[in-house]
Amino acid sequence: MNAYLAVAAVLFVCGVMCMATKRNGIGVLMGVELVLNGANINFVAFSKYGLLGLDGQIFSLFVIVLAAAEAAVALAIALNFYNNHLTIDVDQASELKN
């Protein structure tokens, strides 16, 4: 189980690093996916070896669905953002500031 958790942690950290370092919106999205999947692995791992049971599996299914939906929305935002700003650099997206 520790191996699963280690993989998940690596994935998670990679995802976070990806989100924190990538200026490209798509890259950030990918980082998000990585984080979510890291979490999924944890769920599944705890489902198999821990006390979660089927709940973990169902959670991970939810997360996948949610990730898909989220990706769709996020891509749409990115597309729109690109249409408006001709870039997908998230550092430029500071309109909510102030």
Partner 1 sequence: MSPEIYSEVGSLLKWLLTAAWLLPLLGFLVEIFGGYWADRKSKVPAYLAVGCIATGFLLSLIALGTWVDAADMNLWAFESAGHSAEHGEGAEHGDDHEHATVAEHDHADAHDEEHHEHASADEHHGNDPLKTAFSGTFYRLGKFGRLDVTLDWYIDGLTVAMFAMVTLIASCIHIFAIGYMSDELTEHYEDHFVHLPGGRHFHRPGRFYRFFAYLSLFCFSMLGLVLAGNIFQVFIFWELVGVCSYLLIGFYVERHSASTAANKAFIMNRVGDFGFLIGLMVIWTWFGVFQFANTDPAHADQAGLFQMVRTHDGTLVTEGEGMEKTVSLQHIEGEARPSSIPYWLLTVAGLGIFAGCIGKSAQFPLQTWLPDAMEGPTPVSALVHSATMVAAGVYLAARFYPMFTPEVLLVIAYVGCITLFIGATIALVVTDIKRVLAYSTISQLGYMMLALGVGGWIAGLFHLITHAFFKSLMFLCSGSVIHGCHHEQEMTKMGGLYKKMPITCWTMFVGVVAICGLAIPFVTLPAIGAVAFSGFHSKDAIIASALTFSSLNPVHSLLFYVPLITAGITAFYMFRMWFMTFFGKPKDHHVYDHAHESPTVMTAPLLILSFFAIFVAVGGEAGPLVTLYGAAEPAHVAMGATDAGNIGLNLPSHEQIHNFHAQAGMAALLVAFAGTLLAYLFYASGAVDPGTVKRQFESVHEFLVDKWRFDVLYDWMWQRPVHVVASWCTAFDKYVLDGLIHGSASSVVKIAQWDRKFDEAVVDRSVNVLGEVTMSVANWFRGLQTGQLRQYVMLIAVSVVSLFVLVFIFFPGQ
Question: Which of residues 23, 50, 55, 75 is near partner 1 by CB under 8 A?
Answer: 23
| Residue range at the interface with partner 1 (CB under 8 A); choices 17-25, 37-45, 63-71, 75-83 | 17-25
Shortest Cβ 36–partner 1 spacing (Å): 14
How many whole angstroms separate alpha carbon 86 and alpha carbon 79?
9
Shortest Cβ 94–partner 1 spacing (Å): 3
Query: Which among 65, 62, 32, 68 is positioned nearest to 47, based on CA atoms?
Result: 62
Helix axes 54-85, 25-49, angle to 10 degrees: 180
The C-alpha angle 29, 70, 39, rounded to 5 degrees, equals: 70
CB nearer to partner 1: give 7 or 74. Answer: 74
Binding-site ranges for partner 1 (CB under 8 A): 16, 19-23, 28, 90-91, 93-98
